[in-house]
């Protein structure tokens, strides 16, 4: 059934499948997005220079405090709102340049949107609510629409209620139907704005699993959520702070920082890239930077007393190195290089920025100090040829 429900190939303006290729091309690209709203007190900028990529088959959580710009970001992707400046490119289509008529049809075919308050039409049955997007976009024959709507209701375990009105079912059941409606035209992208905000935790977990299953089947799912427990279960998260995106890898590496501290670290971090096998840090040289891997892998090599090298760690995205030297002083205790068959990308904080960050977060300083002590002890044991 799933193959029959979700199999439509989609092409961009150049005849290429949206999101196809070698997997490195983003399906959704946001470039330098700024959004300003006029108010009685003057213009208010809600999004500030947002750059973000989303890839086919990802399940991405968008998190942040109320008023941080999460919903506005989703509205940029759907075209419900337009950026004041910047570009929204989806599957090769320049969404920010589309006319309203073209955008409405394109959105109906390429996106499924799930709202917090369901927004099912109250005078239509559940079956009719799901058929409506197919009617609007003139997709499938009338018979196929009904068959497909019933199959989607079966998918979300609501087929027995097909002829009921939305008011006759619970909130959790309405959200299931809203997801089925979002899937009506087999869109490659699903966007959900606080879809579990009005549901109990058990029902929220069921709805989350449905999104997770859809991502595993190849849909790109982007979900705004305030539920931190759900946010930890997605492929990755985007943290929005005052209209900007905090670096997700800094957030992974230093989870005890506050959102404002994460944003400050994002502003101070410097990106660097190293070719396959290139040396990042040389043992014995002064250590003056903190490194967080953002793509690829590095390897940490120690020289044993007999002169042979041993690789003790291969840090990947969200993992870090360089804290021992910065916290304890002295020279690099290991040689760190990119793995031999792929480049590695990192962001770095220099000594001043790193120490300033720790001075503002005692919890982060304490946590890193414990790890630095452990790694230093492991270093001594490894060099002597003893198990750490």
**What is the rounded CA–CA span in Å between residue 348 and residue 250?**
10
Identify whether residues 324 and 202 lie together within a single domain: no
Identify whether residues 94 and 221 lie together within a single domain: yes
Considering only 104-113, 198-207, 358-367, which range has the smallest mean pLDDT?
198-207
Cα distances (angstroms) measured from residue 342 to each of 255, 275, 277, 338: 27, 7, 8, 7
Identify whether residues 340 and 312 lie together within a single domain: yes
**What is the rounded CA–CA span in Å between residue 33 and residue 73?**
9
**What is the rounded CA–CA span in Å between residue 274 and residue 84?**
36
Task: Check pLDDT > 90 for residue 128.
Answer: yes
Task: Check pLDDT > 50 for residue 21.
Answer: no
* Structure token digits, residue 316: 């990947």
Identify whether residues 97 and 233 lie together within a single domain: yes
Average pLDDT, the chain: 87
Q: For residue 139, give the CATH number of its domain.
A: 3.40.50.300
pLDDT of residue 145: 93
Task: Check pLDDT > 60 for residue 2.
Answer: no
pLDDT of residue 306: 64
Element (H or E) spanning 385, and its range?
none
Identify whether residues 131 and 273 lie together within a single domain: no
Task: Check pLDDT > 80 for residue 37.
Answer: yes
Is the pLDDT higher at 374 or at 17? 374
In a 13 Å sphere around the CA of 172, the CA atoms on its Cβ side amount to: 12
- String of DSSP letters for 230-293: HHTTSSEEEEEETTEEEPHHHHHH-TTS-HHHHHHHHHH-EEEEE-TT-EEE-TTSBP-EEEEE
Identify whether residues 317 and 291 lie together within a single domain: yes
Task: Check pLDDT > 50 for residue 64.
Answer: yes
Identify whether residues 221 and 267 lie together within a single domain: no
**What is the rounded CA–CA span in Å between residue 296 and residue 71?**
31
What's the structural domain count of the chain? 2
pLDDT class for 9, splitting at 50, 70, 90?
Answer: very low
| Contact of 131 with 185, CB cutoff 8 Å | no
Identify whether residues 112 and 199 lie together within a single domain: yes
pLDDT tens digits, 260-275: 999 999 999 999 999 9
pLDDT tens digits, 132-182: 999 988 889 989 999 999 999 998 889 999 999 999 999 889 988 998 999
pLDDT of residue 305: 67
How many whole angstroms from its chain centre is CA 67? 19
**What is the rounded CA–CA span in Å between residue 28 and residue 187?**
14
pLDDT class for 20, splitting at 50, 70, 90?
Answer: very low
pLDDT of residue 160: 93
pLDDT class for 39, splitting at 50, 70, 90?
Answer: confident
Arithmetic mean of pLDDT, 241-256:
92
Q: For residue 344, give the CATH number of its domain.
A: 2.60.120.10
**What is the rounded CA–CA span in Å between residue 189 and residue 50?**
20
Identify whether residues 346 and 374 lie together within a single domain: yes
Task: Check pLDDT > 70 for residue 337.
Answer: yes
In a domain, 257, yes or no: no
pLDDT > 70: percent of the chain: 91
DSSP letter (8 states) at residue 67? T
Q: Which range of residues forms the domain containing residue 291?
A: 262-383
pLDDT of residue 5: 65
**What is the rounded CA–CA span in Å between residue 203 and residue 10?**
32
Task: Check pLDDT > 60 for residue 255.
Answer: yes
């Amino acid at each position: 059934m799933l193959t029959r429900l979700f199999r439509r190939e989609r092409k961009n303006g150049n005849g290429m499948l949206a999101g196809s290729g070698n997997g490195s091309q983003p399906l959704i690209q946001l470039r330098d997005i700024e959004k300003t709203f006029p108010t009685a007190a003057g213009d208010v900028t809600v999004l500030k220079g947002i750059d973000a990529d989303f890839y086919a088959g990802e399940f991405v959580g968008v998190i942040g405090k109320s008023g941080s710009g999460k919903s506005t970001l989703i509205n940029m992707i759907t075209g419900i709102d337009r950026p004041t400046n910047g570009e929204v490119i989806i599957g090769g289509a320049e969404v920010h340049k589309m006319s309203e008529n073209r955008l409405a049809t394109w959105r109906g075919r390429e996106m499924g949107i799930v709202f917090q308050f369901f927004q099912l039409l109250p005078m239509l049955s559940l079956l009719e609510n799901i058929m409506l997007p197919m009617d609007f976009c003139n997709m499938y024959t009338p018979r196929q629409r009904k068959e497909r709507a019933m199959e989607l209701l079966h998918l979300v375990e609501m087929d027995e209620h097909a002829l009921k009105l939305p008011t006759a079912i619970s909130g959790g059941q309405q959200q299931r139907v809203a997801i089925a409606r979002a899937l009506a035209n087999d869109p490659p992208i699903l966007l959900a704005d606080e879809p579990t905000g009005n549901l109990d935790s058990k029902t929220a977990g069921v709805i989350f699993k449905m999104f997770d299953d859809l991502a595993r089947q190849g849909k790109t799912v982007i979900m705004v959520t305030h539920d931190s427990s759900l946010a930890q279960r997605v492929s990755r998260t985007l943290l929005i702070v005052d209209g900007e995106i905090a670096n997700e890898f800094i957030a992974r590496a230093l989870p005890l920082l506050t959102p404002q501290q994460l944003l400050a670290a994002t502003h101070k971090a410097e990106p660097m890239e190293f070719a396959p096998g290139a040396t990042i840090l040389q043992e014995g040289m002064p250590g003056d930077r903190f490194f967080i891997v953002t793509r690829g892998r590095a390897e940490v090599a120690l020289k044993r007393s007999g002169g042979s090298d041993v690789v003790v760690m291969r840090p990947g995205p969200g993992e870090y190195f360089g804290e021992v030297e910065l916290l304890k002083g002295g020279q690099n205790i290991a040689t760190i290089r990119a793995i031999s068959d792929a480049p590695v990308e990192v962001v770095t904080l220099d000594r001043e920025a790193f120490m300033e960050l720790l001075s503002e977060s005692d919890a982060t300083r304490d946590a890193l100090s414990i790890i630095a002590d452990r790694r230093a002890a492991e270093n001594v044991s490894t060099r002597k040829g003893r198990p750490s």
